[in-house]
Amino acid sequence: MTGRMLLPFLLFVGVAAAQMDRGPVQTVGRVRVRIVFPDQAPCNTSTRVQLSGNSGVPLAEGSVTGECTAEFFDVPPGRYRVTVTGSDVANGDESDVEIGSVIVQEVEVKARRKADSEGDMSSAAFISVSDLSVPTPAAKEFNKANHLIARQDWPNATKRLQKAVAMYPNYAAAYNNLGAAYSRMGSVADARSALQQAIALNDHLAAAYVNLARVDFLEKNFPDAESLLDKASSLGPPDVNQLKLQAYAQVMDRHFDQAIDTAHRAHSSQIRAHAFLHLAAANAYEQEKKIGDSIAELQTYLSEAPRASQADQVKKAITTLQAQLASAREEAASK
């Protein structure tokens, strides 16, 4: 699966609530999760940390700070799986932790860099264009930046792109790539400024709208993200990464029918690597209380992506939802 959005999966809200049945509730004041890389490399603030319950279904999720930490509040005592997700990171070991009744609990999780195959910002975030009006020196800097982007050398790629726009202030493609690179470095304000400039210079640059939507995701501004993605879709056929973002924004904005439509549109158009969109549809159906439809989407996901990293979570979610459906049927039959 290529490319991912800022949360490469959706929270099963209703199912998650069912996992909290642990008897009398005791809470910790705060759980602080710190991400550690073998090379002590800095964190990208687009990295996410997720706490999952004993069924494997996500219960809470948050972004890391520049200090590689994510904080969660009022977490009931119990055993949790901590999962690190993002454009270029993954867990470096099995990260099951026991959380007790304390005021503050520190948790350290080892992480590793991974190939940019399942990230929230794919190579589609960056564009490579040939524009005859671009001065040769600026075009050379742009091309050098693209080589650095391919190696994920964000600081040096950023420097090259800064030179390109200094040489040619109307270079919309360079501003787009600069904004995407800033985002990968966690410089959200700079990313937003560069992407807004790209759109001001070329209001038909779909990639810039999608990248600006990604920035809105980082700030949990889902209505604006959805609007930007709708605009991008109006400019040309969306790819699977764009549809994933769009479906997620629609779910978060509680536009469930639109999210289902987006997922089904990808399926009917035979866009490759669209299996994830079944999770978006499943989440939307669940929140509409259409549990049978939700289960069907999850089962379709497993049939299309049986070896996906979320497969075990999805299987457990299906079991939980089937139990809920059976219980509801029994209750209805008894009336």
Tell me the pLDDT of the chain (335 aa) as tens digits: 333 332 233 333 222 222 223 333 344 557 788 887 765 566 666 677 877 765 555 667 777 776 778 887 777 777 777 888 765 666 655 567 777 656 667 778 777 765 433 334 555 677 767 666 889 999 899 989 988 887 788 899 999 999 999 999 999 999 999 999 998 888 899 999 999 999 999 999 988 999 999 899 888 899 999 999 999 988 887 777 788 888 888 888 899 999 898 888 776 655 555 677 888 888 888 888 899 999 998 998 888 878 777 788 888 889 988 888 888 888 888 87
Quick one: DSSP state of residue 137?
A: H
Domains 13-113 and 123-324 share a fold: no
- Classify domain 13-113 at the CATH topology level: Immunoglobulin-like (2.60.40)
| Strand, helix or coil for residue 225 | helix
CB atoms within 10 A of CB 174: 32
Hey, where are the domains in the chain?
Answer: 13-113, 123-324
CB count, 10 Å around CB of 194? 28
pLDDT at residue number 82: 82
**Triad 300, 301, 303: Cα angle to 5°:** 65
Contacts of 175 (CB under 8 A, 6+ apart): 165, 194, 195, 197, 198, 201, 208
Whole-number pLDDT of residue 279: 85
Rounded Cα gap, residues 321 and 323, in angstroms: 5
pLDDT at 168: 94
Contact 26, 77 (CB under 8 A): yes
| Predicted pLDDT at 18 | 28
Which helix (DSSP H) or strand (DSSP E) does residue 247 occupy?
helix 240-252
Name the 3-class secondary structure at 2. coil
Nearest residue to 217 via CA among 208, 207, 228 = 228
Of all helices (H) and strands (E), which one includes residue 192? Answer: helix 188-201
Please tell me the predicted confidence (pLDDT) of residue 115.
Answer: 43
Whole-prediction pTM = 0.61
Strand ranges in the chain using DSSP code E only, listed in sequence order? 30-36, 48-52, 58-63, 69-73, 78-85, 89-91, 96-99, 104-113
**CATH code for the domain defined by 123-324:** 1.25.40.10
By CB atoms closer than 10 A (0-12, 13-18, 19+), residue 3 is buried
Identity at 41, one-letter amino acid code: A
